[in-house]
Structure 1
Amino acid sequence: MIDATLLIIDDDDDILLSARLFLKQHFSQVITCKSPRELNVLLSRNEVDVILLDMNYQKGASDGREGLYWLDHILSIDKDYVVILMTAYGNVELAVQAIKKGATDFILKPWENEKLFATLSSASKLRQSNKKVRKLEKLHSSLQTDVNRAFSNIVGSSESLRQLQHTLTKVAPTDANVLILGENGTGKQVFAYELHRLSPRRNQVFMHVDLGALPEQLFESELFGYAKGAFTDAKEDRPGRFEMAEGGTIFLDEIGNLSLPLQAKLLTVLQNRTITRLGEGRERKINVRLITATNMPLNDMVTKGTFRQDLLFRINTVELELPRLAKRGDDILLLANHFLQAFSNKYHKGMLKLSDKAEALLLNYSWPGNVRELQHVTERAVIMADGPEICPADLQLSPQKFGTPAIQADIPLEEMEKLMVQKAIDKHKGNISRAANDLGLTRAALYRRIEKFDL
């Protein structure tokens, strides 16, 4: 029994009866009606898979014009409907015209039951296939919308971030391989997606693969796919992540975690631009943009022999090194307010804002977890806040992780800023360029603060 709903439209009661008696043995539901004028009601009330439509309804008509008219009407409701036209008058030109207008097939009356079943069976499979494709398209569109919403923009205005964005806008429109370096939580995935979003591949798949969380024994099957029977649980053919990212971007996160044997397999794929599924002999070409990321020192690993130099050359046509959050100066407050607005909306807290003391604490915190930690801290603060302002207690920051432990939360914000500027200048022994970079400021901005605080 095929799980499909058929709709048969014919003005001949005998035709409808014989079709219904035969087809209900093979299909889960068979609906019949005498006039195509009932189409709108029937299609609105039933999830129809295949429509079997007669081409002539008026007495003496044989030119099939009515069938072609109603075919247009059905496809105007949903272009994915599968329609099979039938007539007692064989006409090759009419059949060709019907197919051109969107009919799936054309059969003659009286039909042979076996041929009718074969035609409708194929048509129902086509309908199911079309539905799966549309579902996947909607899912992809939804996922891309979610990703766009999550990584809508890179937030910040520090000098180091502006330089990164400048490089990013140059590299994004190309197909150059990009290696993103940075500590955990610095936003490597956000930058990877921004490269994809600004590229010609923006409307295709962005495939994120966390190599650090991928067991070594599943590396080939997950990335390259497998054929049915390749191993015990391989009950059907399955494409890997490279194939699923076809035409789009594949982001291999934590690439420094790969063992040397897996590095060799990945290098072969990147050199040949082909993959071979497990258990299958033929090579498949791939067309993807490669972005990789790691928090590990790959150059040191090459020296120690734990990372292949030829693989490093292959993946780092362009390098982007993301700075620690503590070195991004005023970006801390920009990011905090960005997260504050997002989480205030999420938790229906109205328009919250940071108090002066809360801002001072955020600026003086060392941020070992970088942007990700700031995001979590802000979310927790929004949840804990009782009033319209985020106060220091809402942040729940660890006192052991402040740049200057002696600084207390009740010091005025301006005094806190003065201490931070003095600390940076002392740290770099009066080198203004290095101190400015450490604070996330331009040299001119730092000079203004030195003059302001008479340092």
Structure 2
Amino acid sequence: MSQPTRILAVDDSRATLEVIKRNLVPEGYEVYTCERVSEALPLLEDYAIDLVITDYRMPQSTGMDLIRHVRANYPDTEIMMITGYPSIPGAVEAIKDGAGEYLAKPFTTEELLSAVQRIVERLMRRRVLSSGDTPPDNFGIIGSSQEMEHVFQRIGKASSTDANVLISGDSGTGKELVARAVHYNSARRASSFVPVNCTAIPDSLVESELFGHVKGAFTGAKDGRAGFFEIASGGSIFLDEIGDASPNMQAKLLRVIQSKEFSKVGSSRVHKVDTRILAATHKDLRRMVDEGTFREDLFYRINVVDIKVPPLAERGDDILVLVNHFLTKFAKAMHREAPQLTDDALAVLRGYSWPGNVRELENLIQRLVVIVDHDLIDVTDLPDAMRFCLPRAGGSNRSLAEVESEHIQRVLTSVGGNKTRAAEILGINRKTLREKLRRIDGVEGE
């Protein structure tokens, strides 16, 4: 949000208002206060209030009256109810009528800040979802996080040159999208973009696939054919997963990049190469060079401009924008209204680790649109492994053993101690689970 979150606190207790203001203002919130509901109404009209914090019992109009007024007239404003007379019926009524949080007096500073933070996070998620897709200057790639802004800058620089580009990133992060963005925003955009999967070419066919062959060059060559480099002449060739290229392929690629010429299999005629190299990998090529499994000379030839694509889990609210994009895309394909996700479901998606990155998210949303019949997708509609992967507050300064232990205990609790079911959710067998529990508890469990 470009401006501070605006909070309106309404309570007939000046002491409570002072506590709220004293605690929230230092956190960067813009706080307005008043002691009557009647005083709150003009403030709601004059300012774009993000959150209303209201007392339950007040003279004349009550907090419930204010909640109903806000819900009827300011549907995008969040609400938190506070009261010195806590009761379950009161809480139920407040939540039913639209309060996002219910806080009993006296509350601690931590309780207040935590409640406000939860509400602001929900508010921001909703605003991200309603903000639409990516602006056109982002090369058609959805995302506006700081990490992706860096990618867009690199795409812009790469597009303005004819240098070879190495795109690195985990599987499913969208490396080919980046390669296409570089090509179609470069001076070569009118010529071909030719994708080549380096893992799919048998070693015996490398030369024929890359450079083509003439009729009769080998048994079965009934006709001549153009290779990938000839097809990409004047344009760009995208060498996907170049880290999986065999030593033979690496040698052939290095030769054509160095000499800028090739000959078809079965022919002595030399063809000049006018093709830009865009390569991508999910592997650490520098480490492979050190290990001797990737040619150092080829590495430096393709790594003139490097673009690192971040994993989805590091892209912040881009996850929510992508959720909205895929919901609309697949709902349109199925000729149905796009379903919505509850705040809890969005929180799970926002906090999930996404090992499969954007590809995993796209597949999940497609599956939800196909399978879920109702219009509101909740946490229970999400895969088990995802539902039990909620992050723990407290940052990353914990050991792997601590994180694993907490996750195992959470999953066990969620299934009532059923170890067979817990092992299924965790993706391990029952024996492995017993061994992990023995290490955690110091005793063998069954």
Rounded to whole Å, the distance in 1 between the matches of 2:255 and 2:390 is 46
Q: Post-superposition shift, 1:397?
A: 4.8
Cα deviations by residue, 1:29-59 (Å, 9 ceiling, x for unpaired): xxxxxxxxxxxxxxxxxxxxxxxxxxxxxxx
Cα deviations by residue, 1:304-363 (Å, 9 ceiling, x for unpaired): 111111100100101111111111111111111111111111111213222212101101
Alignment of 1:134-283 (within 5 A): 153-283=140-270
Alignment of 1:345-424 (within 5 A): 345-399=332-386, 402=389, 404=391, 419=393, 422-424=394-396
Cα deviations by residue, 1:427-447 (Å, 9 ceiling, x for unpaired): 69xxxxxxxxxxxxxxxxxxx
Which amino acid letter does the alignment assign opposite residue 229 of structure 1?
G
Which amino acid letter does the alignment assign opposite residue 360 of structure 1?
A
**Secondary structure at 2:176's aligned position in 1?**
helix
The match for 2:298 among 292, 296, 311 is 311
Q: How many residues align?
A: 263
Aligned to 2:289: 302
Which amino acid letter does the alignment assign opposite residue 170 of structure 1?
K
Name which of structure 1's ranges 224-233 and 385-394 shifts more when overlaid on structure 2.
385-394
Which amino acid letter does the alignment assign opposite residue 311 of structure 1?
L
Q: Tell me, yes or no, if the aligned pair for 1:222 and 1:240 is still in contact at 8 Å.
A: yes
Which amino acid letter does the alignment assign opposite residue 371 of structure 1?
V
Q: Post-superposition shift, 1:392?
A: 2.2
Aligned to 2:278: 291
Q: Residues 196, 397 of structure 1: CA spacing in aligned structure 2 closer, same or farther, 3 A cutoff?
A: farther
Q: Tell me, yes or no, if the aligned pair for 1:349 and 1:382 is still in contact at 8 Å.
A: no
Give the superposed CA RMSD. 2.1
Q: Post-superposition shift, 1:228?
A: 0.8
Q: Residues 313, 156 of structure 1: CA spacing in aligned structure 2 closer, same or farther, 3 A cutoff?
A: same
**Secondary structure at 1:293's aligned position in 2?**
strand
Cα deviations by residue, 1:115-156 (Å, 9 ceiling, x for unpaired): xxxxxxxxxxxxxxxxxxxxxxxxxxxxxxxxxxxx972111
Q: Post-superposition shift, 1:403?
A: 5.1
Cα deviations by residue, 1:49-95 (Å, 9 ceiling, x for unpaired): xxxxxxxxxxxxxxxxxxxxxxxxxxxxxxxxxxxxxxxxxxxxxxx
Alignment of 1:318-337 (within 5 A): 318-337=305-324
Aligned to 2:8: none
Q: Tell me, yes or no, if the aligned pair for 1:384 and 1:394 is still in contact at 8 Å.
A: no
Q: Residues 270, 397 of structure 1: CA spacing in aligned structure 2 closer, same or farther, 3 A cutoff?
A: farther
Which amino acid letter does the alignment assign opposite residue 314 of structure 2?
K
Q: Residues 273, 166 of structure 1: CA spacing in aligned structure 2 closer, same or farther, 3 A cutoff?
A: same
Which amino acid letter does the alignment assign opposite residue 161 of structure 2?
T
Rounded to whole Å, the distance in 2 between the matches of 1:157 and 1:397 is 29
Alignment of 1:74-89 (within 5 A): none
Which amino acid letter does the alignment assign opposite residue 252 of structure 2?
K
Q: Post-superposition shift, 1:381?
A: 0.7
Which amino acid letter does the alignment assign opposite residue 241 of structure 1?
F
Q: Residues 256, 265 of structure 1: CA spacing in aligned structure 2 closer, same or farther, 3 A cutoff?
A: same
Which amino acid letter does the alignment assign opposite residue 356 of structure 1?
D
Cα deviations by residue, 1:169-204 (Å, 9 ceiling, x for unpaired): 111121110000111101111111111111112122
Rounded to whole Å, the distance in 2 between the matches of 1:323 and 1:152 is 16
Q: Tell me, yes or no, if the aligned pair for 2:166 and 2:304 is still in contact at 8 Å.
A: yes
Q: Post-superposition shift, 1:238?
A: 0.8
Cα deviations by residue, 1:370-418 (Å, 9 ceiling, x for unpaired): 11000100100111222222222333252487253xx7xxxxxxxxxxx
Alignment of 1:117-136 (within 5 A): none
Q: Tell me, yes or no, if the aligned pair for 2:348 and 2:386 is still in contact at 8 Å.
A: no
Q: Tell me, yes or no, if the aligned pair for 1:382 and 1:390 is still in contact at 8 Å.
A: no
Q: Post-superposition shift, 1:245?
A: 1.1
Q: Residues 237, 295 of structure 1: CA spacing in aligned structure 2 closer, same or farther, 3 A cutoff?
A: same
Q: Post-superposition shift, 1:250?
A: 0.7
Percent sequence identity is 45
Q: Residues 317, 184 of structure 1: CA spacing in aligned structure 2 closer, same or farther, 3 A cutoff?
A: same
Give me the TM-score of the superposition, normalised by structure 2.
0.56
Which amino acid letter does the alignment assign opposite residue 158 of structure 1?
S
Structure 1: gaps of 5 or more residues: 1-150, 408-418, 429-455
Q: Tell me, yes or no, if the aligned pair for 1:380 and 1:395 is still in contact at 8 Å.
A: no
Q: Post-superposition shift, 1:215?
A: 1.3
Q: Post-superposition shift, 1:262?
A: 2.0
Runs of 4+ in structure 1 over 3 Å off: none
Name which of structure 1's ranges 300-309 and 394-403 shifts more when overlaid on structure 2.
394-403
Q: Tell me, yes or no, if the aligned pair for 2:348 and 2:390 is still in contact at 8 Å.
A: no
Which amino acid letter does the alignment assign opposite residue 262 of structure 2?
I
Rounded to whole Å, the distance in 1 between the matches of 2:350 and 2:252 is 45
Rounded to whole Å, the distance in 2 between the matches of 1:393 and 1:313 is 49
Which amino acid letter does the alignment assign opposite residue 185 of structure 1?
G
Q: Tell me, yes or no, if the aligned pair for 1:380 and 1:394 is still in contact at 8 Å.
A: no
